[in-house]
Structure 1
Amino acid sequence: MFRTWITLVSLFGAVGVALAAWSSHGLASFIPAEQLAVAAERARAASLHHLLHTLALFGVALWSRQAPSGWLNLAGGLFSLGILCFAGGIYVLRIFAGIHTGPLINVVPFGGFCLIGGWLALGVAGWKSRC
């Protein structure tokens, strides 16, 4: 799974940096001025979680190369899904602020639970590790 995780890390990292830059420099062209401060803060939070959990996934990739385990794969999958749902959901909700987004709003907390689950799975992998 090393190749899968490292490929996802590179994609998530590149997209995370691009979206962080866009949040800092391009957000104002999409968001009304009265909503800009809140949107910018949420976009910063999404970027922070996006890039932080990309680094966590990088750790999973490196560890899985040395000592593969199902718990590491679960952690990697949950981190990946969490990045997509939590950070991705916030990005989309900020881009389309003011437009009815329906059930998409529920994707963000689901992504947060995935990120928490990723950390817990990583903890179990460490506990069961023979390293």
Structure 2
Amino acid sequence: MLGAFAAHGLKSQLPPYLLGVFETGVQYQAWHSLAIFGCAILARILSSKAVLYAALFFAVGIVFFSGSLYALALTGIKWFGPITPMGGVCFIIGWVVLAVAAWRSA
């Protein structure tokens, strides 16, 4: 839905660079939302709290990474930019926690 909003609603409102920033946020949100659903399934199969922690890191990552990109693109306020890497770190931690949980269950 946000991708459609960007393609149709924002295309004429934002410069190409900021439209790309918004679309990057959409892509990362979509992929990590799928990862959260995968974690929910894996948590039931593996009975692992670590998988739930991974999902939590993905959710926080979406808020900080994608949220800051949306805010930057829509407002042009530059100080949202430095927030983005914190979300990226949360994504990385989430993937590491998920990998460790999978490795421990094997």
Structure 1 length-normalised TM? 0.74
Unaligned 5+ runs, structure 2:
none
Note if 1:20 corresponds to 2:6. Answer: no
Measure, in 2, the Cα distance between the counterparts of 1:107 and 1:83.
11
Identity among equivalent pairs (%): 32
- Is 107-116 or 18-27 further displaced after alignment? 18-27
Shift in Å, 1:105: 2.6
Match for 2:38: what amino acid? G
Measure, in 2, the Cα distance between the counterparts of 1:109 and 1:61.
25
Counterpart contact for 1:30–1:95, Cα < 8 Å: no
Q: Which residue of 2 aligns with 1:115?
A: 91
Counterpart contact for 2:50–2:98, Cα < 8 Å: yes
Note if 1:83 corresponds to 2:55. Answer: no
Measure, in 1, the Cα distance between the counterparts of 2:42 and 2:30.
19
Q: Which residue of 1 aligns with 2:45?
A: 66
Measure, in 2, the Cα distance between the counterparts of 1:59 and 1:123.
13
Match for 1:45: what amino acid? T
Measure, in 2, the Cα distance between the counterparts of 1:107 and 1:75.
20
Match for 1:61: what amino acid? A
Measure, in 1, the Cα distance between the counterparts of 2:4 and 2:56.
26
C-alpha deviations, 1:55-105, integer Å up to 9, x for none?
A: 1111101111222212112101100000111011101110001xx453x33
Q: Which residue of 1 aligns with 2:105?
A: 129
Measure, in 2, the Cα distance between the counterparts of 1:126 and 1:38.
38
Counterpart contact for 2:25–2:66, Cα < 8 Å: yes
Q: Aligned pair count?
A: 106
CA-based RMSD: 1.5
Shift in Å, 1:29: 5.3
